[in-house]
Structure 1
Amino acid sequence: MLIEDSGYPHRPEDVVLIPEALALVPAANARGVAVGIVTNQSGIGRGLFDWPAFSSVQVLIDKAVQALGGHIDFVLACPYHADAAVLRYRREAHDWRKPAPGMIAASAHELGLDLARSCMVGDRISDMEAAAAAGIPHRLLVGNADRVDQGDVHCTPVPRSGLAAALAQSFSA
């Protein structure tokens, strides 16, 4: 959740970065906390853009994080979708597509992460559901003031302006 959800972001010039979220990355890095991105990318499966376009957005994000002194440890993306136009990505359900926990489980296995000590920061309920299914206890649903009340019992709704404090509080509890 480092960029605005604009549907199918695939051109760097159309991407809007979220400064409050970007600032968390170097802070986590400084504490030895792995930072990763797990993202549904049905736009690839739907044929709206390709992997190089996705990569160009990731380069933009990486540069923004590096400018703040941080780094992203891993990125996993799921192109699968029931309505995919690209046949190899057409699946009714795929264990990597959130709300399934597959991307989280794969990253935890690969990097040796302790999910019981992890946190998911996301802007969709499907992010929170995937984190809950993976056993992540700290789940922050981020949004603007009119979206904060749309959270459910499985997460803590938090406005962007309170993101750093909410993340610190979730780990001190």
Structure 2
Amino acid sequence: MKLAILDRDGTLNQWGAQGFIGHPGDWVAVPGAMEAVSRLNRAGWHVVIATNQPGLGRGLFDVLELNAVHAKMHRELAAVGARVEAVFYCPHAPDEECRCRKPAPALFEQIAERYGAEGQEIWAIGSGVEHLQAGRSLGAHLVFIGPPADGGAQEALPEGTAQYPDLNAVVNDLLPLGGESLPAGQP
């Protein structure tokens, strides 16, 4: 089993001007990210999303708008032969103290249970430290996407976190040139 749990914002799509994506028109793919997911799919990886959506809890958008955003994402993925099998999201605002808001582990636990995956079979890939902390709770491989973290941000990354500029660079290392993925346990 090869399971990639992606953070959505900053990994698949660019951050919205308001700091969140609440409307399909705000969703813009990160260059190369859709194609990277396609390559993972072709190599036999399961790809899912785990995302905090505090805008729901704050009343900034509703579930219908969130579903429309995800429908646009799925269409753009399909256009390049890619798919995300499931989207798991926390609908709570930060002050609600739920168990599903990353860095809490509940979303990752639900995903691992649904796929029957053990920690060493999971790659937590995202642009947020909270995503990586949730992955660490299961013993997943941790991959930070974005500009190199420095200073305080570097210290906040869980120990052993790999750093890449984008999802495409991660997939380049996960998959050899022939398109077959590395054996489980080797990032």
Same structural fold, with TM-score higher than 0.5 when normalized by the shorter chain: yes
Residue 91 of structure 2 corresponds to: 79
Aligned match of 1:86: none
What is the aligned counterpart of 1:114 among 103, 106, 118?
118
Shift of 1:77: 0.7
Are positions 1:96 and 2:96 aligned together? no
Please, which runs of 5 or more residues in structure 1 have no aligned partner?
A: 84-90
Letter in 2 for 1:142: I
Higher relative contact order (CA 8 A, sep 6+): 2
- Structure 1 distance, partners of 2:32, 2:149, is 16
Aligned partner of 2:79 in structure 1 is 67
Change (3 A) 1:82 1:65: closer
Pick from 145, 169, 172: which aligns with 1:165?
Answer: 172
By how many angstroms is 1:10 displaced? 1.3
For these two proteins, the number of residue pairs brought into alignment is 162
| 1:33 maps to which of 45, 48, 55 | 45
Give, in whole Å, the separation in 1 of the partners of 2:20 and 2:80.
26
Moved beyond 6 Å, runs of 4+: none
Which residue of structure 1 lines up, in the alignment, with residue 30 of structure 2?
Answer: 18
- Percent of residue pairs bearing the same amino acid type: 28
Partner amino acid, structure 2, of 1:164: V
Q: Indicate which of 5, 8, 12 corresponds to 2:20.
A: 8
Structure 1 or 2: more helix by fraction: 1
Which residue identity lines up with residue 91 of structure 2 in the other structure?
P
